[in-house]
Amino acid sequence: DPETMNHSERFVFIAEWYDPNASLLRRYELLFYPGDGSVEMHDVKNHRTFLKRTKYDNLHLEDLFIGNKVNVFSRQLVLIDYGDQYTARQLGSRKEKTLALIKPDAISKAGEIIEIINKAGFTITKLKMMMLSRKEALDFHVDHQSRPFFNELIQFITTGPIIAMEILRDDAICEWKRLLGPANSGVARTDASESIRALFGTDGIRNAAHGPDSFASAAREMELFFPSSGGCGPANTAKFTNCTCCIVKPHAVSEGMLNTLYSVHFVNRRAMFIFLMYFMYRK
């Protein structure tokens, strides 16, 4: 509540800004004072004040979470980490990321699954359609290597394209697991009939979608598909033959229209060879 906030209370984030003139990523401390909505910025490398504390009406507490992009006086900043322990303790549990993966058996239903994700209050922050190599599949399912179904699982996950998404909301890991339902789709149809696996899965392996069980698993799996080092991760599914490019603009993404676009392509029997989400920097 803004009326009860101490005007000296502040939340600190580490932010990056791409400087087009120097072709460099510059790093700043971004300080936000919720009591009066003011901001302050410090240049991390040069140890100097970049922006003195200034009232700024276009930044709000709900905008501040790791991975988000915010505009501060026409600079698009990417929030990459918490700047102090207080901020991490106070805000760390408010927003959480996890991996949502649509398996080969449910690719044709991806539009409907994305709609379920949007309606559950998730924000899709990254998305990529890809084909896993056997090695990538082994790395992904390393936790299951002692299970009797391991070889069948590896064979299945490499039979066709998958869609990997980074999704965000409060308590994301638990909420995504709840939406998925039990791992075996037969059990899901009995115990959680409205779950994704009940609606779109077949059995314990061909069960439509996947989600990690813990913070550690989520971090490991997201790093495989969306490397923090800036690498590409698994190869996308582009064919570059007899094709065109369809761009979904930001307002349509924010209005949850990705699912409609995807579903229309399959209803009209148009093959979608690649599905990617990108953020563009202002130059």
- pLDDT, position 280: 61
**Angle (CA) 164 217 176, round 5°:** 55
Residue 129's identity, in one-letter code, is M
- pLDDT, position 265: 60
Fold of 2-91: PH-domain like (2.30.29)
Helix axes 258-267, 110-119, angle to 10 degrees: 160
The backbone torsions φ and ψ at residue 278, rounded to the nearest 5 degrees and listed phi first, read -130, 150
Give the number of other Cβ atoms within 10 Å of residue 67's Cβ. Answer: 15
251 annotated active-site: no
Q: 97: burial class by Cβ within 10 Å (0-12, 13-18, 19+)?
A: buried
Q: Distances from the Cα of 15 to the Cαs of 41, 64, 76, 88, 140, in angstroms?
A: 9, 11, 10, 14, 30
**CATH code for the part of the protein at 96-267:** 3.30.70.141
For the chain, the structural domain boundaries read 2-91, 96-267
- The closest of 260, 253, 255 to 276, measured between CA atoms, is 253
DSSP codes, 121-136: T-EEEEEEEE---HHH
Query: Which among 7, 42, 60, 210 is annotated as catalytic?
Result: 210
Cα 258 from chain centroid (whole Å): 14
Q: What is the pTM of this model?
A: 0.67
Ranges of beta strands (E only) in 148-187 are: 162-169
- The closest of 234, 231, 122 to 179, measured between CA atoms, is 122
Mean of the per-residue pLDDT values of the chain: 86
Give the number of other Cβ atoms within 10 Å of residue 89's Cβ. Answer: 10
Q: pLDDT tens digits, residue range 226-279?
A: 887 666 788 777 777 777 777 778 777 777 777 676 666 655 555 556 677 766
- pLDDT, position 171: 84
Tell me how far apart the terminal alpha carbons of the chain are, to the nearest angstrom: 37
- Which residue ranges in the chain fall short of pLDDT 50? 1-4
